[in-house]
A and B are shown apart, each in its own frame.
Chain A
Amino acid sequence: MKEAAALAFAVVLLIWTLAPIYNMVMVSLDSKGDVFSNDIWPPHPSLDSFWIVLSEGYWYLQYFWQQFGNSIYIGAATTFLTLLIGSLASFSIGRMRLKYGWLVSNAALLTYAIPASFLAIPFYSIMLKYGLANNLWSVIFAEVTFATPYAIFIFQQYAVSIPIELDDAARIDGASPIQVYLRIYLPLMAPALVAVGTYALLLAWNEYLYQFMLLSSQRSMTVPVALAQFLNSDEAPWNYMMATAIIYAIPPVAIYYAFRRRMTAGLTMGGVKG
């Protein structure tokens, strides 16, 4: 009886979780892109819209691969810089015990005091001043800025489990701080690096506002910006739009599931570690 109730609940949960995803797939498979239908499944499902997206066969999708490449470039650079800047900073604060370092990690949290979306307008003006308007790097700097405080926070927490005696031993053997960072700190931090790297990538992939404000030309924009453009046009074929959305959603989902165990460990580390 209890088992049956749990199963029934599981079915409800499954429907709740999958309904919007099912809707995406359904619209993308519809050959006419007609969402105004009473059907629960398209009568003539076809993969045409996916082919059209992949072959850039519609004028809205003219630069699809270029835009997809931009998204990958932003995601990769954000991940790399977040890991580099975050790990260097937390190494300095946590392992080298820089005086007043705790101030830096507290100040980093201030980044979250004003939501990113409220800073977008001044950020745009500043990027104009820096000469980075319509440049992918302006977006990368924005994403790194918002991902690093979390990175420093997680690194600091995780590093507590690595005995500082290791650093001391290496120092006594004559290792320089750079060697300690490269040979001891980074290898032992691998699980935290994977968790934070995945987080940074998902953040960059999720973000829309800064990409929309800072990238204006067709060739420099990213996939979510192009998707939102579809939304604003009256005659956009919805099946192409949903096919684009599905293709764009595949990489983060795949990466998350590839690193799932590490990622979950990162999320719940506080509870698990002794």
Chain B
Amino acid sequence: MNGRSGVLAVRGPVAPRRLRLPAWRSHLHGSDLIYSILFIVPYATLFVAFVIYPIAYAIWMGSNPALYAELLSDPRYVRAAINTVLFVGLAVNLQMILALLLSGFFMRRRRWIRALLVVYILPWTLPAVPAYLSFHWMFVAYPQGLPNNLLEALFGIEGPFWFDQKWLALGCNIVAHTWKWMPLWTLVLLGGRMSIPQDLYDAADVDGASPYQRFAYITVPLLANLYLISTLVSTIWTFGDYAPVLFVSGGAPAFGSEVVSTLGFHYALDYANPPLGVAAGLSVLPLLIPAVILLMYRLKRTEVQL
């Protein structure tokens, strides 16, 4: 058994689907061809008008090399670029590792664990703006927000003013983002774990495997591909996710926790310089495009879905 071919490899070869002969192609001509083209026209129109055109427009707006020189000479941009890498790297890995462990916890067959799962999904279903605003109020109210009141009540320490230091503010944004998205990835990985046949674990038990060995030699290899795909998708989404920064810390203190996507709006809206805002967005593409290509390649090879 080879873990690289994904979760479903355990169910036998995936190949038949690809080999199946096209059913209609032999007679896909005349009116059928017209129908099949007609069916694709709405999406093709949408794609050209609202994906290709804006992307081309963005590239055209951000094509002046002087814009990038201007970005690099702006300390706010450099700060935001570092913050973006930290925010994406920390938030994505933190929530994926926790989701992997939590999905194991939710595999227990207990009634109350099922009930807990239902509550645990709640953050993902809540709209982003209300959820992040709640985090904003919790952290901004100094010295009496909910976290600070808890710190005082439980440990007797006076909490900090969370948005006073850029590291704390960045941390608050990461916590809020993790709170919102970790349930989704837990659910996805839980689905992956449930598709691993119980026989494998039973066989391991017969062989006297420890829980750690079951995890390391069965769960990890069989879940690796799904985990990688989920991490890539999460990375791509988080790069563009402006909401935690915009609503939780608001970029405080003084652009200290800003990321590239929010700084882009400030350039475009507050400083009335849309091309610079677009250039800021385009400047992270060298990091993003490899992730997208890797994702496409991975999706092509497996049947795993989100």
Contacts and interface: CB of A to CB of B under 8 A. Distances in A.
B35 A40 contact: no
Q: What is the interface of chain B mostly: helix, strand, loop, or mixed?
A: helix
A182 to B, nearest CB: 12
Given A101-B40, A153-B305, A271-B192, A145 B58 contact: no
Contact of A148 (B7, B43, B141, B265): B43
A9 B46 contact: no
A122 B288 contact: no
B235 to A, nearest CB: 11
A253 B57 CA distance: 37
A219 B85 CA distance: 38
Contacts of A91: 39
B135 A97 contact: no
A267 B145 CA distance: 36
Say which size band chain A's interface belongs to: 35 or more
Contact of B58 (A37, A93, A122): A122
B178 to A, nearest CB: 10
B125 interface: yes
B37 interface: yes
Interface string A82-117: 001110110111011111010010111111111111
Most buried by A among B134, B138, B239: B134
Interface string B233-250: 000110111110011001
A172 B183 CA distance: 47
Contacts of B304: 270-271
Nearest to A158: B305
B135 A111 contact: no
A52 interface: no
Contacts of B93: none
Nearest to B188: A267
A184 interface: no
B90 interface: no
Nearest to A272: B195
B46 to A, nearest CB: 6
Given A98-B40, A114-B288, A121-B58, A16 B23 contact: no
B226 A271 contact: yes
A152 B55 CA distance: 21
A274 B121 CA distance: 26
Contact of B288 (A9, A21, A115, A160): A115
Contacts of A153: 305
B131 A13 contact: no
A118 B262 CA distance: 9
A121 B261 CA distance: 11
Contacts of B295: 109
A245 B130 contact: yes
B27 to A, nearest CB: 9
Contact of A115 (B23, B116, B136, B236): B236
Nearest to A241: B133
Contacts of A17: 119-120, 122-123, 179, 183
A88 B42 contact: yes
Nearest to B293: A113
Interface of B: 7-8, 11, 17, 20, 22-25, 28, 32, 35-37, 39-40, 42-44, 46-47, 49-51, 53-55, 57-58, 61, 102, 105, 108, 112-113, 116, 118-123, 125-131, 133-138, 141, 144-146, 149, 152-153, 176, 179, 183-184, 187-188, 190-195, 226, 236-237, 239-243, 246-247, 250, 261, 264-265, 268, 274, 277-278, 281-282, 284-285, 288-289, 292, 295-296, 299, 303-306
11 contacts: A89-B42, A109-B299, A114-B285, A117-B264, A121-B278, A123-B50, A125-B57, A160-B17, A206-B128, A207-B128, A270-B7
